[in-house]
Amino acid sequence: MKYELINLNDESINFFNKFGKDHALLSASVDGKCNGMTVGWGGAGVMWRKNVFFCVVRPQRYTFEFCEKTDIVTLSFFDSDKSDVLKICGSKSGRDCDKFALAGITPVIGENGEVDFEESRMTLVGKKLYAQEMREECFIDKECDKVWYPEKDYHILYVYEIIEARRK
């Protein structure tokens, strides 16, 4: 798989749109088995003097098990004509099917266990720095809690250092 490494400090990428409009695929592998899911919430910025991205994963996701078991994940972005990929990966669970095959994308596991895709336009490789489950009592705005967590299935927040940024 061919890609070029990019320096995110030299790029002008709108991560508001990348997450909120286009969406991304959060993927990981454990013992050669991989899974991924569509994420629409998250962001990129600077923490602890490092370039980071953060994602939030509900505990019932199969991908959650991967995020807990490995410290390396990837965040992959696709061209707009591949929006079906993110629809499929955001509606099917890897517990029940081979969703990458269904979505017509080809995972390539790298030497650090990172999952990239032949078809992605850009992939960020992340190394886990921080993980914390959201808690009811921490919501200052109780409306967010009420609207988004009626089942009390609080997201786990993960902050990852961006250790590589690849463009195809």
Interface pick for ligand FMN out of 14, 91, 112, 132 (rule CB under 6 A): 91
**Helix, strand, coil percentages for the chain (3-state, nearest 5):** 25, 40, 35
Size of the site for ligand FMN (CB under 6 A): 19
Minimal distance, residue 84 CB to ligand FMN, in Å: 11
Q: Which is nearer to ligand FMN, 43 or 110 (CB)?
A: 43
Minimal distance, residue 152 CB to ligand FMN, in Å: 14
Interface pick for ligand FMN out of 68, 93, 131, 134 (rule CB under 6 A): 93
Q: Residues near 129 by Cβ (< 8 Å), separated by ≥ 6?
A: 47, 48, 50, 52, 159, 160, 161
In the complex, residue closest to ligand FMN by CB: 90
CA atoms of 136 and 59, how far apart (whole Å): 15
The type of residue at 50 is K
